[in-house]
Amino acid sequence: MRKVKANAYDVITAKVIAQLESAEGGQWQKGWVSAAGGLATSMSTGKAYRGINQLVLMWAGLPDKRWGTYKAWQDVGAQVPKGCAGTAVLFFSTFDKKDKGGNKTGETGAFAKISYVWNATQVENAPALPVVETPNLAERNAAVDDFIANAGADIRHGQAGAFYKPTADWIGMPDRDLFVDTETSSATEGYYSTVLHELAHWTGHRSRLDRVFEGSKRFGGEAYAFEELVAELASVFACAELGVEAEPRADHAQYLASWLKVLKSDNRAIVTAAKHAQAAVEHLHSLQEPEVSEAA
């Protein structure tokens, strides 16, 4: 009997569903990422993984953020030990579309495939981890404050909770001094991750990425849960980039069942959510002040 190849979307979605189903209450997010450790990066290109691949690799929670294929590690003189399990990620292959007569239409399509990567901590003779000077807490906080301010969103403090009001296009936040330290994050980190979550919602406004409308078309009654998932992933990605520990919010637990319902009904939902989350973070980056280079 011929072995049926696993659908790439099914493989990735099953991993996400298993992660969510193993969660306990509001602490589910802790299994996804230690955001302050930075983004998972390709050891061969030096670029951060994107979308769903970034999320999947974050779950590993490993101190070394470098990942690579079997061949990529071999190319730098490292070796994946025999029997060492890799982590499945998605990659897309393109093809030329053809008409019914078999002639090329000039358009291209893409289909998802599974590839496997290994972390630097899993391989033998991996190149030494580069020493990177990390900014002190004050510098980091100043950078995050600037990132938030540069977005230009209307953020109104003094509210009873954290929310985004799309009809009026403003963000409500409790006063900053009401946030408290927890076992996983400082009060400041809790504040930042919450603001970034709401900023992600803000990017979905029809005058920006028009994401809420897209989600409503595709997921109907589950569009709200889908949008919450997008904002949550965007907050995680942004926190990782900015060196902020993502803070689990107790109110996220109530969306868990809805998220699972969406993911189980559509095997591409998590990939789509991660894609929108990536776009949200990139939109926030596009609003930042450009760096001014010194004249020679």
Query: Is residue 25 scored above 60 in pLDDT?
Result: no
Q: How far is CA 189 from the centre of its chain?
A: 17
- Which has the higher per-residue pLDDT, 165 or 223? 165
pLDDT in tens, 33-44: 455 568 999 999
Query: Rounded to 10 degrees, what is the CA torsion of 6, 9, 14, 20?
Result: 170
Q: Phi and psi at residue 50, in whole multiples of 5°?
A: -120, 155
DSSP assigned state of 79: B
> Per-residue b/e over 158-190, b at no fewer than 16 CB within 10 Å?
eeeebebeeeeebbbbeeeeebeeeeebbebbb
Query: Is residue 14 scored above 80 in pLDDT?
Result: yes
DSSP assigned state of 48: B
DSSP 254-269: GGHHHHHHHHHH-TTH
Query: Is residue 221 scored above 80 in pLDDT?
Result: no
Query: Is residue 15 scored above 90 in pLDDT?
Result: no
Q: Residue 250's pLDDT band (boundaries 50, 70, 90)?
A: low
- Where do the structural domains in the chain lie, given as residue ranges? 8-126+133-286
Q: Are 123 and 78 in contact (CB under 8 A)?
A: yes
- Which has the higher per-residue pLDDT, 66 or 19? 66
Give the residue among 201, 162, 200 at the shortest CA–CA distance from 178.
Answer: 162
pLDDT in tens, 37-89: 689 999 999 999 999 999 889 888 788 999 999 999 999 999 999 999 999 99
